[in-house]
Amino acid sequence: MENLTQSPTEVLEIGEKVQAGERINFDEAVTLMEKADLFDLGSLAHSIRTKKHPVPNVTYVIDRNINYSNICDCGCRFCAFYVAPGKDGGFVISKKELGRKIQETIDLGGTQILMQGGHHPDLTLDFYEEMLRFIKDNYPVHIHAFSPPEVVYWSELNGISIKEVLKRLIAAGLASIPGGGAEILVDEVRSHIAPKKCSTAKWLEVMETAHNLGLRTTATMMFGHEEQPVDRIKHLFALREIQDRTGGFTAFIPWTFQPD
């Protein structure tokens, strides 16, 4: 196959299928993950991208990540950010500090802020609604905030449905949701690296519910820890199923686990 020369024949055959505009199945995706030459995969991905977007332009957003709190009772095994409730070093951002960070972003040409925090056991949904209203009323920025695990946690903490949590956040100013907390969307892995974090099904439920309410979201994957290649493909196919139904994911952001 043209431009794909380093990979075995079975990979080249899958590549021909992809370039013909056909969808690959689960087993074919695993084959690409395990056997394809990296540069061949990149070439194949580039060819599909240029077919979908022939104009050679890319876009970007100038934004800032703001952590509203590092207090969390989740205790994920890979996390070096959180502080357990009651321990030294925990914080909840003040309105003054939040406003300062947002204004700095705007002054530098930023148009969006991404806000996330932990599973804080003492903050009710009212706190997050007030924070959103404060931003919306005072700063002309797109509010891209809160991850599915946070939404699930607030649903449980406040005794209301995921849909109701999202509707209240939207009413207060939430504009889109980042894809944090996905890690690997395979419960056998999640239960080991993040046993207190929401299940795969709940993560996906938040995203699909958000899409159905008119929100757009991103999706992520943390890889390079104890997952297997097949787990990465399960993760991608779970996202693809929702994207087929809603079209609500605007970006996919994979990142490697950083052990140090």
> 98-137: buried (b, 16+ CB within 10 Å) or exposed (e) per residue?
beebbeebeeeebebbbbbbbbbeebebeebbebbebbee
**pLDDT for 172:** 98
How far apart (Å, rounded) are the C-alpha atoms in residues 149 and 157?
12
Is the domain spanning 63-256 CATH 3.20.20.70? The answer is yes
How far apart (Å, rounded) are the C-alpha atoms in residues 256 and 243?
23
How far apart (Å, rounded) are the C-alpha atoms in residues 67 and 70?
7
How far apart (Å, rounded) are the C-alpha atoms in residues 15 and 28?
10
**pLDDT for 80:** 77
**pLDDT for 5:** 65
State the residue for tokens 């599915």: 148
Hey, is 116 helix, strand or coil?
Answer: strand
**pLDDT for 120:** 93
Of the listed ranges 51-55, 126-130, 154-158, 202-206, the least confidently predicted one is 51-55
Instruction: Count the Cβ atoms, other than its own, within 10 Å of residue 159.
Output: 7
How far apart (Å, rounded) are the C-alpha atoms in residues 104 and 109?
9
Q: Token pair of 210, please? A: 């958000």
pLDDT tens digits along 61-112: 999 999 999 999 888 788 878 888 888 989 999 999 999 999 999 999 999 9
pLDDT tens digits along 148-173: 999 999 999 999 999 999 999 999 99
State the residue for tokens 């332009």: 57
Strand bridging mode 142-145 / 216-223: unpaired
Calculate mean pLDDT across residues 251-260: 88
End-to-end CA distance of the chain: 41
129, 169 contact by CB (below 8 A): yes
Hey, is 214 helix, strand or coil?
Answer: coil
Calculate mean pLDDT across residues 223-249: 97
pLDDT tens digits along 47-72: 899 998 898 888 899 999 999 999 99
pTM: 0.93
Instruction: Count the Cβ atoms, other than its own, within 10 Å of residue 72.
Output: 23
218, 211 contact by CB (below 8 A): no
Domain ranges of the chain: 9-52, 63-256
What single string gives the DSSP state of each residue in 172-212? HT--EE--TT-S-S-HHHHHHH-TTSPPHHHHHHHHHHHHH
Identify the band that residue 3 occupies on the pLDDT scale cut at 50, 70 and 90: low
Determine phi and psi for 185, rounding to 5 degrees.
-85, 60
Instruction: Count the Cβ atoms, other than its own, within 10 Å of residue 26.
Output: 12
Is the predicted pLDDT of residue 4 greater than 60, yes or no? no
From residue 246, alpha-carbon distances to 73, 83, 141 in Å are 32, 36, 25
pLDDT tens digits along 171-196: 999 999 999 999 999 999 999 999 98
